[in-house]
């Protein structure tokens, strides 16, 4: 699979869910975090999952799966802490950064990004909506590991992406843009998908 490692970022606080944990929301009877980890594993790729120290139920949702949990003691800092921890755990190679709160992303989408990396191993490969709007996940080539390891704050790799010319991989519909952060987001998504 071209040396790519999937980093499933699951160390966020779910702060806009008003007490609920969005990563434990059931989707077709399976906790979202487990569902997304299964999608990653279905590609045959190594899957790292970043986890905060204060949410043991997230780790429990992954029981029995061949994923590698990556503790993020400084998770409160934001997404950069997860990416830094993932880079350290990946020990080199390309890193496919997958946000855990995007339930429309499936194994077939991840496989497209990994195939894009195999075709252009030095390029940033970024999922996009069908209409070309850039979204997530994003696959960073090995050459960017040091830059990713230096990230700080809750902006993720946004600034690094601005300096690159990503190869966009259009996914069906708007699945590369759908992330669910609030109870209202979840309710609208469930109404639309029936899940």
Structurally, the chain folds into a number of domains equal to: 1
Per-residue pLDDT tens digits for 65-117: 999 999 999 998 989 999 999 999 998 889 999 999 999 999 999 999 999 99
Average pLDDT for the chain: 93
Q: What is the pLDDT of residue 2?
A: 46
Residues of the chain above pLDDT 70, percent = 99
Does residue 50 have a pLDDT over 80?
yes
Domain containing 17 — which CATH number? 3.90.550.10
Give me the domain span that covers residue 122. 5-193
Q: Round to whole Å and give the CA distance between 146 and 93.
A: 11
Residues 6-44: tens digit of each pLDDT:
999 999 887 778 878 999 999 999 999 999 999 999 999
Q: Is the pLDDT of residue 1 over 70?
A: no
The whole-model pTM stands at: 0.94
């Amino acid at each position: 699979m071209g040396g790519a490692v999937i980093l499933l970022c699951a160390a966020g606080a779910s702060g806009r869910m008003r007490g609920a944990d969005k990563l434990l929301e059931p989707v077709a009877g399976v906790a979202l975090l487990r569902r997304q980890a299964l999608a990653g594993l279905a590609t045959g790729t190594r899957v790292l999952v970043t986890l905060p120290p204060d949410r043991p139920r997230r780790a429990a949702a992954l029981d029995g799966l061949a994923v590698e949990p990556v503790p993020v003691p400084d998770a409160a800092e934001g997404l950069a802490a997860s990416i830094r921890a993932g880079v350290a755990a990946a020990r080199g190679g390309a890193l496919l950064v997958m946000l855990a709160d995007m339930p429309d992303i499936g194994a077939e989408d991840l496989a497209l990004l990994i195939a894009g990396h195999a075709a252009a191993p030095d390029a940033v490969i970024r999922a996009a909506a069908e209409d070309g709007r850039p979204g997530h996940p994003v696959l960073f080539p090995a050459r960017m590991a040091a830059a990713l390891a230096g990230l700080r704050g809750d902006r993720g790799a946004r600034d690094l992406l601005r300096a690159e010319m990503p190869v966009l991989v259009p996914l069906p519909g708007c699945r590369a843009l759908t992330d669910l952060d609030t109870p209202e987001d979840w309710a609208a998504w469930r109404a639309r998908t029936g899940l």
